[in-house]
Amino acid sequence: MLELNAVTHIYPNGTRALDDVTLSIPKGMYGLLGPNGAGKSTLMRSVATLQTPTSGTIRFGDIDIIANPEKLRERLGYLPQDFGVYPRVSAYDMLDHMAVLKGIASARERKETVETLLNQVNLWAVRKKAIAGFSGGMRQRFGIAQALIGNPELIIVDEPTAGLDPEERNRFLNLLAEIGENVVVILSTHIVDDVADLCPRMAVLAAGKIQLEGAPLDLIAQARGNVWAKTIDRAELDEYRGRHEIISTRLFGGRTIIHILSDSDPEDGFTPTEGGLEDVYFSTLARTRRVAPSLAA
């Protein structure tokens, strides 16, 4: 279990990136949703011991992460948003080098580790290929392989599917789901479908605060009756923005479908929508903007 209690981080320029964040994250896949600039990367870097929060506590099992970062690093796997490697080095040699850095001194043990991981992430056939020649999805799968060195008990992946095509995204998410059966995996993203597909529990982080937390299906059920839909001409959009709180828009068949937030029937031709996790997410951001107008739509 990962426990965060009243974690706050204020940068030297005065930006409050995290504001009293408290979470309990159990074993399995856990989704952390939020827009760009919400504080997700700051939170992930704090958990990964790459920076120390201004105040608060972070514990993983019996480890005080802030007081004993080295102890946590022995159990941690981390795939940051910007994962850099030596591009001209082969996948096999790079993983072997990283295994040395992780403390695997035995050549035989490193060989077994590297071969197992390359097979697990389906990169064995391209093990001798330079990473520079990998596709985006292959790079991300390699990133997961390096994060799995040493059998970590806590894995953090930050915006892992951004920029992947649908096939690569599905392959990557299936790999994450397999890994997440036995360890704590935190999936930090702004892509709602990634969380909907994988995570039995989630939280929404916006303006540095946890705005919502729970099981996706429960949160969807709670939002039912508060989200309404209507199809309009795009030219009417500004008019409807003036009358209703629009939380999302999308195009379908050349027309615009708008979803609005309303606690009662807004009439005006709207119909209630069954909703999904995307409506929960956008509704939460809309409510957050009421008290934090600086949060961009």
Q: Which structure tokens are listed for 8? A: 């706050």
Q: What is the pLDDT of residue 7?
A: 96
In sequence order, the 6+-apart residues with CB closer than 8 A to the CB of 24 are 1, 2, 3, 4
Q: What is the pLDDT of residue 296?
A: 44
Which amino acid belongs to residue 281? Y
Q: What is the pLDDT of residue 169?
A: 82
Q: What is the pLDDT of residue 2?
A: 95
CA 275, CA 235: separation in Å to the nearest integer?
Answer: 25
**Any bridge partners for residue 204, and if so which?**
33, 212
Q: What CATH class is the domain 2-75+153-214?
A: alpha beta
For the chain, the structural domain boundaries read: 2-75+153-214, 85-142, 221-291
In sequence order, the 6+-apart residues with CB closer than 8 A to the CB of 178 are none
Residue from 52, 49, 64, 48 nearest 17 by CA: 52
Q: What is the pLDDT of residue 10?
A: 95
**Spans of the chain, pLDDT less than 50:** 296-297
Q: What is the pLDDT of residue 297?
A: 39
Residues composing the chain: 297
Q: What is the pLDDT of residue 137?
A: 81
pTM of the model: 0.84
Continuous segment of H or E residues that includes residue 111: helix 107-120
| Beta strands per DSSP E along 182-225 | 184-189, 201-206, 209-214
Measured from the Cβ of residue 245, the count of other Cβ atoms closer than 10 Å reads 15
| Residue range 188-204, pLDDT digits in tens | 888 888 888 889 999 99
In the block, residue with structure tokens 């009662």: 264
**Any bridge partners for residue 90, and if so which?**
130
Q: What is the pLDDT of residue 165?
A: 80
- Output the DSSP codes for 173-190: HHHHHHHTTTSEEEEEES
Query: How many H helices and E strands in the chain?
Result: 10, 14
